[in-house]
Amino acid sequence: MSVTHDRTHAALPGAAGNAPEPGTAEIGGTAEGARNTEVAGDADIAPVAALIADAARAAMLTALLDGRALAAGELAAIAGVSAPTASSHLARLLDGGLVTVVKQGRHRYYRLAGPDVARTLEVLARISGRVAVRSLRQSRQARLLREARSCYDHLAGRVGVELYDSLVREGRLVEADGGCLLTASGAEALAELGVDVEQVRRARRRFAPDCLDWLERRPHLGGALGAAVLDRLLAREWLVRGTVPRALRLTGAGREGLGRIFGCKELT
């Protein structure tokens, strides 16, 4: 699996002062020029891209990648902006359909609008550069995220990749174009973990797609099945959340259980 990113931009200068020929659209840097080049029926990705392009909003969206709902104050602190500025950014993200809001009494909590938004952010992460590590604190955060983290609602990082590799190696998952097939032995192993496979199959999302890990550059398990697995790992406290957003810690019980049920030898 690979992601190709074409960084080549061709310059198409026009002759100053000349009107476009009949039947052609003038290509330029103006809004009018952009409208002239639009193709009816195409997706209008520019407004969404502009929302993500702001550094503060990008930081907020990335923080929400662990699937939890966070308050505006928490997101303001993560993005390094004031509370009024954070509220303005969140209003734009809400209007753009990238986040939703959950109200509990007087409090409002924000979360990503759904798996499609999370997948978009993960793909952007794969083709983006890494944030430079400039302190021991940042080094610790990077190490924790690489070890285990939530990728919206499924498990990523070294632990997630090793679990996926073990499922394939033991014949419990069979890789196929665009996703994975769960075998009978895989269903038995997941049932031992506490996953109701038949209920998961009825979910209104893809069952078991692989998801390329943007740090490990190898796949981990996504989709409805990946979400159900992470839910059970957290419920059993085989994984626990820490203070670093998205970071998860594999406990001793989790290391033993994943080795016993799924044969995750690299985690022992």
Tell me: pLDDT of 10 over 80: no
Q: Where is average pLDDT lowest: 58-62, 118-122, 152-156, 164-168?
A: 118-122
Cα–Cα distance measured from residue 147 to residue 120, given in angstroms and rounded to the nearest whole number: 22
pLDDT tens sequence across 167-211: 999 999 998 877 899 999 999 999 999 999 999 999 988 899 988
Q: How confident is the model at residue 38 (pLDDT cuts 50, 70, 90)?
A: low
Instruction: Say which CATH architecture domain 46-126 belongs to.
Output: Orthogonal Bundle (1.10)
pLDDT computed for residue 3 by the predictor: 38
For residue 7, pLDDT over 80 is answered with: no
Q: How far apart, in whole angstroms, are the C-alpha atoms of residue 259 and residue 265?
A: 6
Q: Are 54 and 89 in contact (CB under 8 A)?
A: yes
Name the more confident of 128 and 150: 150
Token reading at 199: 């209920």
- Measured from the Cβ of residue 44, the count of other Cβ atoms closer than 10 Å reads 8
Q: How high is the mean pLDDT of the chain?
A: 84
- Closest residue by Cα to residue 234 from 169, 150, 113, 138: 150
Alpha carbon of residue 179 to chain centroid? 17
Q: How far is CA 268 from the centre of its chain?
A: 27
In 3D space, the residue among 224, 200, 88 whose CA is nearest the CA of residue 152 turns out to be 224
pLDDT reading at 155 higher than 80: yes
pLDDT band at 35 (very low <50, low <70, confident <90, very high): low
Q: Where are the domains of the chain?
A: 46-126, 136-267
Q: What percent of the chain has pLDDT over 70?
A: 84
Give the model's pLDDT for residue 210.
87
pLDDT confidence of residue 26: 45
Contacts 24+ apart (CB under 8 A), 181-188: 181/208, 182/207, 182/208, 182/225
| pLDDT tens digits, 48-84 | 999 999 999 999 999 898 888 999 999 999 999 999 9
Higher pLDDT among residues 88 and 204, named by residue:
88
What are the residues whose beta carbons fall under 8 Å from the beta carbon of 156, sequence distance 6 or more? 148, 149, 150, 211, 213, 215, 216, 220
Calculate mean pLDDT across residues 230-240: 97
pLDDT at 23 over 80: no
